[in-house]
Chains A and B, each alone.
Chain A
């Protein structure tokens, strides 16, 4: 099929409509507000904690606050993400959507973009609150927004994973697989470091390194320590993180689109 400019702009208009609808679905659900309330409570809690400890209060608020922000948005990405496609099929709302002149890949991409918009709002709201707390404690730094950027990259990968599983299997299996990915992603580099010295022979070492490269490595996105100890983030680090994320997301969304296009919607 030829993609005329008109076809392209129609395709984009459809994808945008799907994304907007996904966004609306989220902000009209109760879960969204429960999570936000929980996030606010946790952030306030970390501020209270800082009062009870010795040392730099601002540093504690930053450390705790970023951990809380990351944790809550990651949980949102996983647990909303695993339902993104599945519930549409299960509730049969997808019949009407896919009987319109759009492709299934557009549906997947639209859902993904909508979800990333929801997460952007979540993340930004939490960072803004964190910033306010820091102003209050006279320790404001723009670095929390830099950290937020890296959290967002991680969310992009996790949402793509959850969406991929959502398009092929049930929420329970999706949740287990996505959590497993998350855990492996945060431990694989440490595992390699501790295992590497024990593997004998240069060939074995090379094989091990290659194997670990196949595993997700979410630590390429981890800037918590850099922020916490006020170490500047190198440009190379940022570029590598962005490329890594883009590659992973592209791969996962392509796989999701391919798997989903073949499915019978019964």
Chain B
């Protein structure tokens, strides 16, 4: 029994091009190894192939080459979809159903009976913040509400692995925060959450591991800690009351405004030198902020055309 929730090997997929001329290489040999019990971010710019990969996992697309396993079961088998939850990119639902009816329907597709669903549906609606909205037809749901009911249907079978395509899209900051909390609580229950996103801040906050996909290939993959080696890249020093015109042999002035000064320096020793100079010039030190490498820096350096 492997301890991998998702195992993808050399996955390749092409699509017919415009007017069937040529082929579009959406995936060019994707490898992924997602351990169980983690929150895994699947990141990449538009068109990188995230949705294509997720559709292969959900059994909607057949890969040209390579294989993928969910909880040890090859995708494409019915069994592979028993213990997973899936949220497609922009959830489209039967708009003639109410939110509760939709969840009932998907519950039945998982073999759940009436009694189980009568308990489960209201509970799920509450978890995703749609309490009291269950009897409203989906036609009348807002984009964010559809996203939430989409999340609810992905959880109806108490899946061990939850695969979400852009779960935060269409949500306001409060909604995004709620979804982040929900994902964290799923991990606390021992579940694996695999989600795609290009909102790096969201990913950085909650992911244990990430993979960065660009042009159909994984360009880096691993734990966030390792990828963003804890090193400080630069310090910002904020000062006031320093009137000297050309004070700085060290660092570079980022802004100068109303007698306040923001100086960026690269080395820790330089920070000390700068602070000494500032004190002896009678300036006040307002703040010293170390800046570590962020996911965004990593992302930009990995994506072709991203590095400036």
Contact = CB atoms under 8 A, between A and B. Distances in A.
Interface stretch (B4-12, B54-62, B124-132, B169-177): B54-62
A57 to B, nearest CB: 42
Contact of B82 (A29, A92, A101, A265): A101
A102 interface: yes
Contacts, number: 78
Interface residues of A, number: 28
B242 interface: no
A95 B91 CA distance: 8
B110 A100 contact: yes
Contact of B60 (A18, A24, A95): A95
Interface in A224-264: 262, 264
B143 interface: no
Given A25-B96, A266-B15, A96 B111 contact: no
Interface residues of B, number: 30
Interface stretch (A9-17, A44-52, A68-76, A123-131): A9-17
B105 A21 contact: yes
B58 A98 contact: yes
B88 interface: yes
A136 to B, nearest CB: 36
B93 A96 contact: yes
Contact of A28 (B96, B108, B111): B96
A264 B61 CA distance: 5
Interface in A1-54: 1, 10, 13-14, 16-18, 21, 24-25, 28-29
Given A21-B94, A101-B110, A264-B60, A96 B86 contact: yes
A29 B96 contact: yes
B109 interface: yes
Given A96-B153, A99-B88, A264-B61, A17 B105 contact: yes
Contacts of A97: 109
Interface string B62-98: 1000000000000001110110101010111110110
A97 B109 CA distance: 8
Interface centre among B60, B77, B91, B109 (most CB of A within 10 A): B109
A264 to B, nearest CB: 5
Contacts of B94: 21, 25, 93
A265 B61 contact: yes
Contacts of A100: 81, 106, 109-110
B100 to A, nearest CB: 13
Contacts of B55: 95, 265-266
B88 A92 contact: yes
B62 A264 contact: yes
Contacts of B105: 17, 21
Given A95-B55, A101-B81, 12 more contacts: A1-B78, A17-B105, A18-B109, A25-B96, A93-B92, A95-B58, A98-B58, A98-B60, A99-B81, A99-B84, A101-B110, A265-B55
Interface of B: 15, 55, 58-62, 77-79, 81-82, 84, 86, 88, 90-94, 96-97, 105-106, 108-111, 150, 153
12 contacts: A10-B111, A17-B109, A24-B96, A25-B96, A29-B96, A91-B92, A92-B92, A93-B92, A96-B153, A103-B78, A266-B60, A266-B61
Please provide the 9 A-B residue pairs with the shortest distance between their CB atoms, ordered closest to farther: A17-B108, A99-B86, A100-B109, A99-B58, A92-B92, A95-B88, A28-B96, A101-B81, A265-B60
